[in-house]
């Protein structure tokens, strides 16, 4: 299994980058004994202003072939954290490669969105894509702690 996050935009040094790095480090440490690999972040950027169509082409090229595509979209399903953890464990047990996809300011182009195996939402409100990266990294870490039976997730 491998896990990638394919995201539009370059995350510069700053609070969001620190949080993503911290949660993904924690995920790697907690996930190791659970058979979960560390997460690789792939960033794409269209400097020619081609919008979501051009970004979709860059994302499609960057997504590892054969990966199961989990797209982040406010219109998607809203799993609970334990449901997300179960799904992650299921993908691991099936040895599937996972690629989470986060769009840019114009969202994920429908041509790419239709390839999604699963669309998940962090609520119906729209969040800035860099915050969505932080939230996804935290939910991955939370999922690992749930699978490990550690007390981080108390609900
Ligand atoms: C600023 S949003 C773009 C919103 C855009 N209006 C659209 O139609 O998708 C940038 C990216 O952040 C992610 N995102 C924003 N809000 C989200 C939410 N509530 N749940 C899941 N992902 C979200 C999506 O991947 C989205 O493509």
Give residue 87's pLDDT: 98
Give CA–CA dist 138/127, Å, rounded: 15
Give residue 48's pLDDT: 85
Do 99 and 4 touch, CB atoms closer than 8 A?
yes
- Quote the ligand 1 centre to 46 CA distance (angstroms): 17
State the CATH architecture for 3-148. Answer: 3-Layer(aba) Sandwich (3.40)
Cβ of 127 below 6 Å from ligand 1: yes
Cβ of 105 below 6 Å from ligand 1: yes
What's the predicted TM-score (pTM) here?
0.97
Cβ of 126 below 6 Å from ligand 1: yes
Give residue 154's pLDDT: 82
- Quote the ligand 1 centre to 73 CA distance (angstroms): 5
Q: Rounded to 5 degrees, what are φ and ψ at 50?
A: -80, 0
Low-confidence spans in the chain with pLDDT less than 70: none
Q: Can you give the residue ranges of every domain in the chain?
A: 3-148
- Quote the ligand 1 centre to 153 CA distance (angstroms): 25
DSSP states along 39-92: EEEEEE--TT--HHHHHHHHHHHHSPTTPEEEEEEEEEE---HHHHHHHHHHHH
Which residue's CA is minimally distant from atom 25 of ligand 1? 102
103 is in an annotated binding site: yes
Q: Is the ipTM reported for this complex over the cut 0.90?
A: yes
Give residue 49's pLDDT: 84
Best residue among 6, 8, 58, 73 to mutate for probing ligand 1's pocket (most ligand atoms within 8 Å of CB) is 73
Place of tokens 């182009």: 109
List b or e across 128-145, with b for residues whose CB sees 16 or more CB atoms inside 10 angstroms.
Answer: ebbebbbbbbbbbbbbbb
């Amino acid at each position: 299994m491998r896990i990638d996050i394919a995201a539009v935009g370059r995350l510069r040094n700053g609070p969001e980058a620190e949080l993503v790095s911290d949660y993904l480090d924690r995920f790697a440490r907690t996930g190791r004994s659970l058979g979960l690999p560390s997460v690789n972040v792939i960033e794409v950027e269209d400097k020619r202003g081609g919008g979501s169509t051009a970004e979709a082409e860059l994302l499609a090229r960057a997504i590892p072939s054969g990966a199961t595509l989990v797209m982040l979209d406010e219109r998607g399903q809203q799993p609970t954290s334990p449901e997300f953890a179960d799904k992650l464990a299921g993908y691991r047990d099936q040895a599937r490669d996972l690629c989470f996809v986060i769009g840019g300011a114009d969202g994920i182009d429908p041509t790419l969105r239709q390839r999604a195996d699963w669309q998940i939402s962090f609520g119906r409100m729209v969040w800035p894509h860099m915050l969505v990266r932080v939230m996804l990294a935290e939910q991955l870490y939370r999922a690992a702690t749930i699978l490990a039976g550690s007390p981080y997730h108390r609900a």
